[in-house]
Amino acid sequence: MLNPAGNMLKTPFMLAAFLLVQIPAQAHHSITGEFDTAVTFELRGTLTKLDWANPHLWYYLDVVNDAGVVEQWQCTTGQNPNRLIRAGWKKEDLPIGSVIRTLRSNPARDESNTCIVGGITFDDGTPVFSGNKGETTQ
């Protein structure tokens, strides 16, 4: 036989548990809401800062535009540092002052110098923070 008082206590608890699970899901942003995935470009710039923090890495670059003027850009790959650490990467693998290229970049919808990138390489084409460190692909 069901205890009506017990069910009454379970209902608020279940509702609270459901809401607690939903808050982080609502807080995580949509890539297509923030970035224009219909537009793709690449950047080449000098790394000035690297934020190695959860939930995503942020790269800050000085990029020389077509007019020869230096623009400051902020880019994310959407990668989590914990995942990179498990793959063998560390923050020091991308030193400040390195010239890097962004791959498959999508601009922010607010038209700021912000983008999400599909990957990064050093200027010579060597991938950074891609796959497991030290692996080679054929």
pLDDT tens-place string over residues 83-117: 889 988 999 999 999 999 999 999 999 999 999 99
pLDDT tens-place string over residues 36-49: 999 999 999 999 99
Phi and psi angles of residue 60, each rounded to the nearest 5 degrees, phi first: -115, 125
Domain ranges of the chain: 39-128
CATH class of 39-128: mainly beta
User: Is the pLDDT at 62 greater than 50, yes or no?
Assistant: yes
User: Is the pLDDT at 124 greater than 70, yes or no?
Assistant: yes
Mean pLDDT of 2-8: 54
CA dist 71 and 64 (Å) reads 6
pLDDT for 24 equals 42
CA dist 13 and 11 (Å) reads 5
